[in-house]
Structure 1
Amino acid sequence: MRTYKDYCGQHAIRISICMAFLALLITPISSQGIEARIKDISRVAGLEEVELIGYGIVSGLGGTGDKDLMLTKQTVANLMENFQIQLSSGDIKSKNVAAVAVIARVPPFHKANDRVDIKVSSMGDASSLEGGVLMMTPMLDPNGEFYALAQGSLTVGGFSAGQGGAGGATVQKNHVTTALVPGGAVLKMSQSTKFYENGILRLVLRNPDFTTADRMASAINKELGGIAVAKDAGTVSVNIPQEKLDIGQASAFIAKLERISLSPDVRAKVIVNERTGTIVMGGDVHISEAVVAHGNLTVTVKETLRVSQPTDLTLVGANVVTGSNVLANVRMPPIGTAVVPDVETKAEEEKARVMLVPNLTTVRELADMLNFMGATPRDLISILEALRELGALQMELVSM
């Protein structure tokens, strides 16, 4: 049996999985090779965004609004009452309005009268929000408190044109039932943020890892002295010097802290998506020695319709002989033309390639081995899953 090493270098790359995977294949990943700033891999505890939600009405849709939704009609009737106009929901027939949900994400340190972008999405059966205007809509925080007021013209990132139905066609690009209103909400509340307590600042890692947390604490201590300690895989505690607090320079200290760089540790992980055939790998690869046999079985079923045209067997007034008896004047039913399928089934099995996979420690070695096998991305997913079940794949395999 010829080994993988005997074949390596004799075959060109035959598969293309995705640009992200190719980038990983071209350059082997090293957990020590990439540096990142503290501000890019962590956040300051206590600096939280505020999620807002609201319910409102979009008008001016030109016939593309909700068709006959009672929710929309009742909302419009309630809105008219604010202007001393009495209407029942049954009196409203307009298709130019739509019920929508309005959401926003407010960053930390926001103040009253700041403006934030809002997203609008249809809640009913409106076919398009293009050209609509969001009417004044109150927005609430997770505690149900009034937090912002939203309104404005919608920006739809697509279009829909044409007429559907018989003899018609509709052309649509992107989603036209969601929209954006830049700066569409005015905040009515300010956020009082305290990002340190008793002189202690906590940094929260975006991807918790004990090694990365320890490296972060070491990098801070090397740059600023022994003021940091890794509390757990996701938190690094930093003592702000008292002299910085006394002169009100905590923010300047944090700005300096965020610029410190370190090499975050990367876990060996494979992420596969069988629906799209995408495979992305990261970190150092560790594959134990194993034997892999790979071959494809293709089954083809071909059906051809054939017309059967029998001879005329319609007999009227004829004598029919059945054994020793003669039946006179027997009427035979006519036999018509029939369509008969011809089915042909063929199975082809590709000759399997049996290879000894050696101990692999880099992404490039794994890529060379998989490319040599000539497998498709979906075949590679099956091979990787089989290696994991065997215990030879020393990586975390995540299926999306």
Structure 2
Amino acid sequence: MLTKNTVLSALLALGLMGVATTSPAERIKDIATLQGMRSNQLIGYGLVVGLNSSGDKTKFTGQTLVNMLTRLGVRLPPDLDPKAKNIAAVSVVADLPPFAKPGQKIDVTVSSIGDSKSLRGGVLLLSPLKGADGQVYAMAQGNLVVSGVSASGQSGSSITVNNPSVGRINGGATVERSVGNAAFATSKELILDLATPDFTTANRVVEAINRELGANTAKAIDATSISVRSPINPAQKVMFASMVENINVEPDDASARIIINSRTGTVVINGKVTVQPAAVSHGNLSVTISERPQVSQPGPFAKGQTAVTPKSDVTIEEEKNQMFLFNPGVSLNEIVQSVNNVGAGPSDLMAILEALKAAGAIRAELIII
């Protein structure tokens, strides 16, 4: 359970870290990617067989089974409606990594799309995986590994751990078609794309590359992309790209941001957040209503009737919290200490931060998720 002590202690630790340390140097390969080096999503439809009576009861699963058996040369009655409990219709998805070649193996994720209760113990039959262009890029098949499990009794009670309707097959698909990367082989330059657009970081990447590989080797195109002159020979280009991606760069600090997750009560404040002069007083008003009905019972020979008389007790309590003052340019450490001193919990902290932002006293972007 999230408590005010754990949240505020974590924020205080972050504040102390922000004061004591600076951004460490990182490799270019950790903060940027080569343009064109991207994965491609694949999707397919298939059948999982061998289930222990936990398969689908839907009609389209039976139709899929009939179509598959027909393609394999099995003649079935035209009005046959198979209702096998050991099969399930599934979607099969995978990521085709850049430069993947035919014959290589990739992992696949298999998910039930019918009313199957569990895929545990099932085997995925041969399923083609297609890209957005409709072309088949891989073929998937194999035994599923399912981490979830479910069990139920005759009385209707049941228990489920994790999700038994989703499984994975490590190396379960074989690449049949590669995605062309002609731009890497023919281009006279490499384009680096930063994971987080930032003009300062882009300029530092350019300076680091030019310092290591010579002046005018790299130039910034915008806050995201950096152009790097490279050899034309593909073999030399691979070695050159390896040298570039291992150059160390010190990225710029992120902008001042406060992230609030109202569903979980999580509050994250980075070390760049500062506060302008502001006085804050935060208290809780509690209203308690308790019902104590009274029963009126007539005498033995009276002609009256038993009656219930409602009686309500209403009490109002308000916490007496002290007001605290923020001085100009307050750091994260001082913010956390001030809020911690008045005993504010996660919900109180969110309310205080939102009020400071509305008052224009906080210098940060407030993001609520």
TM-score by length of structure 2 reads 0.90
**Residue 214 of structure 1: how far off its partner (Å):** 0.9
Residue 15 of structure 2 contacts residue 270 of structure 2 at CA under 8 Å; is this kept in 1? Answer: no
Give, as a single letter, the amino acid of the residue that structure 1 aligns with 2:105: R
Closer/same/farther in 2, CA of residues 385 and 31 from structure 1, 3 Å limit: farther
Between the aligned partners of 2:95 and 2:307, the Cα distance in structure 1 is 67
User: 2 CA distance for matches of 1:50 and 1:19?
Assistant: 42
Alignment of 1:251-266 (within 5 A): 251-265=238-252, 266=254
Q: Name which of 205, 209, 218 aligns with 1:220.
A: 209
Give yes or no for contact 2:54–2:116 (8 Å, CA) kept in 1.
Answer: yes
* Deviation at residue 99 of structure 1 after TM alignment: 1.1
In the TM superposition, what whole-angstrom CA distance separates every residue of 1:74-113 from its partner, at most 9, and x where no partner exists? Answer: 1112112113231457531222211111100011110001
User: Which deviates further from its counterpart, 113-122 or 365-374?
Assistant: 365-374
1:41 aligns with 2:31: yes
Is 1:105–2:95 an aligned residue pair?
Answer: yes
Q: Give the letter aligned to residue 286 of structure 1.
A: T
Distance change (3 Å), C-alpha of 1:163 and 1:263: same
Structure 1 residue identity aligned to 2:209: I
Q: How far apart in 1 are the matches of 2:297 and 2:229?
A: 95
Counterpart contact for 1:18–1:278, Cα < 8 Å = no
Cross-structure match for 1:182? 170
Instruction: Confirm or deny that 1:273 pairs with 2:261.
Output: yes
Residue 308 of structure 1: CA displacement?
5.0
Which of residues 294, 313, 322 is equivalent to 1:353? 322
Alignment-derived partner of residue 138 in structure 2:
148
* Cα distance between partner residues in 2 of 1:278 and 1:189: 45
Aligned to 1:286: 274
* 1:96 maps to which of 77, 80, 86: 86
Distance 1:220-1:341 versus aligned 2 partners, 3 A rule: farther
Give 1 or 2 for the bigger CA radius of gyration: 1
Structure 2 CA distance for partners of 1:313 and 1:29, relative to 1, 3 Å: farther
* CA drift at 1:282: 2.1
Query: 1:117/1:269 Cα in 2 relative to 1: closer, same or farther (>3 Å)?
Result: same
Shift in alpha-carbon separation, 1:145–1:250, aligned structure 2, 3 A: same
Structure 2: stretches of 5+ with no match in the other structure: none
> Paired residue for 1:71, among 60, 69, 73?
60
Residues 73 and 89, structure 1, Cα contact 8 Å, conserved in 2 = no
**More displaced, 25-34 or 343-352?**
25-34
SS in 1 for 2:202: helix
Residue of structure 2 in register with 1:382 after alignment: 351
Tell me which amino acid in the other structure corresponds to 2:272.
Answer: D
Alpha-carbon shift at residue 192 of structure 1 (Å): 2.6
Distance in 1 of aligned mates of 2:233 and 2:128: 42
Cα displacement (A) at 1:174 = 0.6
Q: C-alpha distance in 1, partners of 2:43/2:327?
A: 55
- Is 2:296–2:309's contact at 8 Å kept on the other side of the alignment? yes
Any residues of structure 2 matched to 1:1-400 within 5 Å, and which?
Answer: 15-17=5-7, 21=11, 23-28=13-18, 32-67=22-57, 69-83=58-72, 84-88=74-78, 91-163=81-153, 166=155, 168-193=156-181, 194-195=183-184, 198-226=187-215, 227-240=217-230, 242=231, 245-246=232-233, 248-265=235-252, 266-304=254-292, 308-311=296-299, 335=305, 342-400=311-369
Higher RCO, 1 vs 2 (CA within 8 Å, ≥6 residues apart): 1
Deviation at 1:360, TM superposition (A): 3.4
Alpha-carbon distance in structure 1 between the residues aligned to 2:142 and 2:293: 61
CA offset at residue 297 of structure 1? 1.0
Residue 63 to residue 342, structure 1, CA distance change in 2 (3 Å): farther
Are residues 247 and 100 of structure 1, via their aligned partners in 2, closer, same or farther at CA, if it must alter by over 3 Å?
closer
Deviations for 1:344-399, whole angstroms, at most 9, x for unmatched residues?
Answer: 32221111321221123432122112212211111111111111111111111111
SS at match of 1:28: helix
The answer on whether the counterparts of 1:153 and 1:181 sit within 8 Å (CA) in structure 2 is yes
Q: Deviation of residue 21 (structure 1)?
A: 4.2
**Aligned-partner Cα distance in 1 for 2:353–2:196:** 24
When residues 136 and 248 of structure 1 are mapped into structure 2, their CA distance, relative to the original with a 3 A threshold, is closer
Aligned-partner SS, 1:134:
strand
Q: Structure 1 CA distance, aligned partners of 2:20 and 2:344?
A: 26
Find the aligned partners of 1:89 and 1:274 in 2 and give their Cα distance.
55
Deviations along 1:333-352, one digit per CA (max 9) or x if unpaired, are x84x5666543322211113
Q: Which amino acid aligns with 2:236?
A: Q
- The answer on whether the counterparts of 2:199 and 2:224 sit within 8 Å (CA) in structure 1 is yes
State the alpha-carbon separation in 1 of the partners of residues 124 and 23 from structure 2.
50
Q: Decide which moves more: 354-363 or 32-41.
A: 354-363
SS at match of 1:214: helix
Seen in structure 2, the aligned counterparts of structure 1 residues 205 and 183 have a Cα distance that, compared at 3 Å, is same
Checking the alignment, whether the CA contact within 8 Å between 2:137 and 2:178 is kept in structure 1 is no
Instruction: Assess if the C-alpha contact under 8 Å between 2:109 and 2:169 holds in 1.
Output: yes
